């Protein structure tokens, strides 16, 4: 007896992991960055599609919005960021001067983000909603060093 499920399809007895994998494969091709959307807002918008490791969504962003950013993965690795999820959790923080989100107590990520404040086409910098965590930490260190904190 033949099944009528196409290649990559999961039948009625498929596990949740198999279903999730097929869902990611199918929707991954539809998830593209909006024009001038920053990398972080793009990742936040596609958070449900992110895998625990790897730079899949970052590669999609680079392909569509920043094709000349050929060293993006190397720069992120140099910052201690080892994947899309890790970039959201440890690479950036929300800009407290612009907004105060409700964050998940387990992962520290905002439940939702406002619309992207946009960046120029080809940029891999975050929009004004976000700040690189290393910059925030450097400012705190300098403030402590100078006695301003």
Domain range for 48 is: 30-146
Query: For the chain, how many structural domains are there in total?
Result: 1
Buried residues in 47-69 as b, exposed as e (16+ CB within 10 A): bebbeeeebbbbebbbeebbeeb
Full-model pTM? 0.77
Can you give the pLDDT at residue 10? 47
Angle ∠(130,127,74) on CA atoms, nearest 5: 80
> Within a 10 A sphere around the Cβ of 129, how many other Cβ atoms?
21
Q: Which residues share a beta bridge with 92?
A: 132
- 22 is a domain residue: no
Assess if residue 34 is contained within a domain.
Answer: yes
At residue 43, φ and ψ (nearest 5 deg) are -65, -40
In a domain, 18, yes or no: no
Strand partners of residue 94: 130
On whether residue 7 sits in a domain, the answer given is no
Q: Looking at the domain assignment, is residue 17 inside a domain?
A: no
Q: pLDDT tens digits for the chain (149 residues)?
A: 444 444 444 455 567 778 777 766 665 556 899 999 999 999 999 998 888 889 999 999 999 999 999 999 999 999 999 999 999 999 999 999 999 999 999 888 899 899 999 999 999 999 999 999 999 999 999 988 988 76
What is the DSSP code string of the chain?
------TT---TT--HHHHHHHHHHHHHTT--PPTT--HHHHHHHTGGG--SSB-HHHHHHHHHH-TT-TTHHHHHHHTT--BHHHIIIIIEEE-TTT----B-TTT--BS--PPP----TT--S--TTEEEHHHHHHHHHHHHHHT--
């Amino acid at each position: 007896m033949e099944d009528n499920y196409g290649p990559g399809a999961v039948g009625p007895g498929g596990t949740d992991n198999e279903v999730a994998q097929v869902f990611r494969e199918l929707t991954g091709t539809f998830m593209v960055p909006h024009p001038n959307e920053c990398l972080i807002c793009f990742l936040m918008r596609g958070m449900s599609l992110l895998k625990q490791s790897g730079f899949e969504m970052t590669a999609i962003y680079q392909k569509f919005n920043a094709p000349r950013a050929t060293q993006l993965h190397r720069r992120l690795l140099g910052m201690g960021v080892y994947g899309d999820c890790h970039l959201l959790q440890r690479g950036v923080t929300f800009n407290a001067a612009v907004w105060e989100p409700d964050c998940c107590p387990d992962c520290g990520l905002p439940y939702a983000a406002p619309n992207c404040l946009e960046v120029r086409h080809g940029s891999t910098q975050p929009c004004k909603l976000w700040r690189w965590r290393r910059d925030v930490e450097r400012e705190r260190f300098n403030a402590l060093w100078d006695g301003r904190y």
